[in-house]
Amino acid sequence: MSTLAAPSSLSLRLPGRPSWRVLAGLTLAVALVHVLVLGLAPTAMGPEPSPLANKFITRTIVIAPPASDKPAAPAATAPVEARPPAAVKPRRPRAPSVPRPKPTPETVAPEPDASATPTPETPDLTAQAATDSGAKPPEAAASAPAGAAAAGGTGDSAPGATAGASNPTSGNIVGTQSLRIPGSVTLDFTATGQDGASPMQGVFGELVWLQDGSRYDARLTLKLLFSTIRSQHSTGRIGPSGIEPERYSESRKAEVASHFVRDQAQVIFSNNAPPVPLLAGAQDRLSVMMQLGGLLAGDPGRYPTGSKISVQTVGPRDAGIWVFVVGEEEKLSLPAGEYTARKLTRSPRQEFDSKLELWLAPAYGYLPVRIKQTEPNGNFADAQLRKSLPEAPAN
């Protein structure tokens, strides 16, 4: 048996790594392919966008409209460059058209003008007062002479230092009636009275009247120690009819006001109460005292004992016609001294009306030296002058 001898070395040809030449060839081939792809891609995708595509630029170009019989309206914006208009071939004229007859409109009777309808005249309370007193009613305020709108006295003048018709720059003339408005003055009062079951004691009052010949400001306050328990305030102007309030207010715990809206002929209240018509010569509850004094100072003989003066008097919540009856002169003994005064009384006319009594001193320009108000429930306040006043200068 023969034994096959194994070769001493066995050579096996296994697949080896590719040579560097093969690798270099492959790398070069791949690079060429990439170059070809990248070079042809922009051509296939279109042209590269312009860098101006992101800018927004406008330019207005005006195109001339075709020629017409009417002139063209001017362009809203100016053209970029002016060019001569192109020659337009004239068109053939059209045959004139015959206008069609329009239907005749129906005749309509014109409506009456509401503004031309006469309105009822506002009653003149000053004339009414003169009628009640038996005197001749004054002329209309429009017939007042020039300069009648200026009120009597300046802020530095003494009380009652005003003039009548002889000096219209310092006195108010309403037709044939003279009003003498006192100059600026402060009146100090001491008040007594009754408030429910408690008597009113230790109360002091102060009436401050300021005017500069065209405007006024009046304030009446009642104070207990350092606390104000009641305040009335009136502001407005002094015109041909005397005192013409614009705003009136009363303050206790809170302020309530009324406004004289003369251009609307109404009185408007701050508590949203319905407005009321504003009548000629209207006053408020504070200015009415000074207006009455001005009437008596202007012509005392016009108001004899028993005559009546009717005035629309506005409060903070309502308004009504107050009728004052002129009484005789009385001798008063006040904390400020002895005074002679004419008494005017406004008596209640309805269930809840208050009674107002005024004592106006003739020697002091008919300024109030005593004021007493009585409520329907019996409460009352009696303010009496506690500081003497200088007499008004003689006319």
- The domain limits of the chain are 125-385
- What's the whole-model pTM score? 0.58
- For residue 41 the two structure tokens come to 């891609």
27 Ramachandran zone, left/alpha/beta (phi>0; psi -120 to 50): alpha
pLDDT at residue 214 in the model: 95
Which residues neighbour 390 within 8 Å (Cβ) at sequence distance 6 or greater? Answer: 158, 159, 364
pLDDT at residue 228 in the model: 85
Low-confidence ranges of the chain (pLDDT < 70): 1-18, 35-177, 393-395
Interatomic CA distance for residues 382 and 363, integer angstroms: 22
